[in-house]
Amino acid sequence: MERSTRHASAVARTALALVLAAGCLRGSPQPGMSSDGGRVALTIRNNNPLDVTIYVIHDGQATRVTAVTAASTNSVDIPDRLLGQGRLIRLRADPLGSSRRHTSESVRVGVGQRIEWTLESDLDRSHIAVY
């Protein structure tokens, strides 16, 4: 009887250790991500005469992040969860009152980097930079 009690106790301790280890691993940052959430700063300079809604396209999904009024600049942090697998994203500008959208080329962003996107009056001349 004593032997089976010791065995059950050892099994319970091992199970507890595995559960605790799994919890620690789950909360650890993934490679290439920071422990503070890994946000990336995005600045949009809107030289377009229309107000523009900005989306982040990640993993085949578009998520609205901000709006920028005409002829102004706006900054926002992109949460890590929107950076997609491999931290590869595209940005979409959707001008209000126009059916013409503009989508940036794909950019890869790392921890601590920032994105600057300048939207021109002709959206096809817009440019994006990662620093």
Q: Based on the fold, state whether residues 22 and 46 are members of the same structural domain.
A: no
Number of domains in the chain: 2
* Residue-averaged pLDDT of the chain: 83
Cβ atoms 127, 44 nearer than 8 A: no
Taking residues 34-56, what's their average pLDDT?
Answer: 87
Please give the Cα distance from 108 to 44 (Å, whole number).
Answer: 17
Q: Based on the fold, state whether residues 70 and 16 are members of the same structural domain.
A: no
Q: Is residue 84 part of a domain?
A: yes
Q: What is the pLDDT of residues 83-118, one digit of tens each?
A: 878 899 999 999 999 999 999 999 999 878 999 999
Q: Based on the fold, state whether residues 61 and 79 are members of the same structural domain.
A: yes
Burial (0-12, 13-18, 19+ Cβ within 10 Å), 122: exposed
Percent of the chain with pLDDT over 90: 63
CA atoms within 13 A on the CB side of 108: 4
Q: H or E element: which one contains 5? A: helix 2-26
Owning domain of residue 126: 40-130
- pLDDT at site 84: 78
Q: H or E element: which one contains 50? A: none
Q: Is residue 1 part of a domain?
A: yes
CATH number at residue 54: 2.60.40
Q: Based on the fold, state whether residues 57 and 101 are members of the same structural domain.
A: yes
Q: Based on the fold, state whether residues 11 and 50 are members of the same structural domain.
A: no
Q: Based on the fold, state whether residues 101 and 45 are members of the same structural domain.
A: yes
Q: Is residue 35 part of a domain?
A: no
